[in-house]
Amino acid sequence: MTQALPSEAEQDQVMEISMGPQHPSTHGVFRMDIRLDGERVLRLKPVIGYLHRNHEKIAEAASYLAAIPYTDRLDYLCSMTNNWGYALAVEKLAGLTVPERAEYIRVIVSELTRLQNHASVVGFLLQDMGASGTPLMYAFREREKVMDLFESLSGARMMCNYMRFGGVRVDCSAEWLSQAAKVVAGFNGFLDEFERLLTGNEILMARTQGVGVLPRELAINAGVTGPGLRASGVNYDLRKVDSYGVYGRFEFRVPLGEHGDVYDRYMMRVLEMRESLRILEQALRDIPSGPFMDPKARLRGLRPKVGEAYARIESPKGELGFYLISDGSPNPYRYRVRPPSLINLTVLEDMCLGQSIADVVVILGSIDIVLGEVDR
């Protein structure tokens, strides 16, 4: 059967555009095939794979240790949480325990990661909306302070390669902890400033409220996690649900949205930063002294028993999971990443249908994707 050709009038009105992969607001090399009626989106097809680096197969060919620096490059804004997710999976597989001090250090660096990720995401979102420069640069100014902390601790600003199976690579000094406490103390001031700058802004509200609504049921069914899910009003945070590490000991709340629109997703990030600061204050106060590595853990030649393990953590973007199968050899038989960015991206079309093309950019920015993690 031959397909009916669109009528001439339809051909005049419907336009197909390919947005990306070089478009500045697609956050990397991401392409969207969009069918437009005027400015209204009729269909949107995400095209991914431009940054595919064979991450999973490389990790299967390399030793367990050699995969850690590769996990840095998944979500390159949050290398610390990626390290943690992978280390947790291997620790489950190999039955290693983590000393108390290392658990606290992990919480501290992960919450610092959350701060800098959310700060830059909100900055980028505003940049996408046309607030060129100012919010992003304010966010980057604060992010740089966290980066400096990471650099003095791990030696690198972004590719930290910091966590090891059974602990962390180097201990943090008392001086570093006091520096971290200073950054944490100063961050609330930045958030106040940021909120004065933006939260009540009428242009921001007009651009974001009621735009890109993600219904609660769809969010759950599509497996969306992270701030995007909580903006739709679902109380699901792995730090509370799983209480991995020592998260059970800290007092913090999980901010929830009501409408599931872009504005709620923006507010989730700002509120989560405030909660992260609370966790950080408690962790920096309570951090015990002691060893930072499991004495049983060896750096090289890790050969876990035959078996499988899945570990998941609440990365700034959502549920980050690592699935490993060991066949008793020095490298995993199967290594699989459950990236939050990719799965959160699946609802992009549902959020964009019927919206204008300018809103597509804003909705994409509010999902918070990093292509290193989407394509792997």
Q: Which residue type does 336 have?
A: R
Position 197 contacts other proteins (CB under 8 A): yes
Give the residues across from 44 on adjacent strands. 34
Position 175 contacts other proteins (CB under 8 A): no
Closest CA to 242 of 175, 311, 184, 308: 311
Please select the residue that binds other proteins; options are 10, 37, 39, 144, rule is CB under 8 A.
144
Interface positions, 200-219, toward other proteins (CB under 8 A): 200-205
Position 169 contacts other proteins (CB under 8 A): yes
Q: Which residue type does 356 have?
A: S
Please select the residue that binds other proteins; options are 151, 217, 286, 327, rule is CB under 8 A.
151
Q: Which residues of 197-222 are buried (b: 16+ CB within 10 A; e: fewer)?
A: ebeebeebeebbeebbbbeeeebeeb
Position 277 contacts other proteins (CB under 8 A): no
Angle formed at CA 350 by CA 226 and CA 341, multiple of 5 degrees: 30
Name the minimum Å distance from CB 71 to other proteins.
10
Interface positions, 60-89, toward other proteins (CB under 8 A): 62-63, 65-70, 72
Name the minimum Å distance from CB 134 to other proteins.
6
Interface positions, 223-262, toward other proteins (CB under 8 A): none
Number of residues near other proteins (by CB under 8 A): 36
Does the N-terminal peptide bond of residue 215 adopt cis geometry, omega within 30 degrees of 0?
A: no
Please select the residue that binds other proteins; options are 45, 53, 196, 296, rule is CB under 8 A.
196
Taking the C-alpha atoms of residue 279 and residue 281, their distance in angstroms, rounded to an integer, is 5
Reduced to 3 states (helix: H, G, I; strand: E, B; else coil), residue 82 is helix
Q: Return residues touching other proteins (CB under 8 A).
A: 62-63, 65-70, 72, 134, 138, 141, 144, 151-156, 159, 161, 169-170, 193, 196-205, 299-300
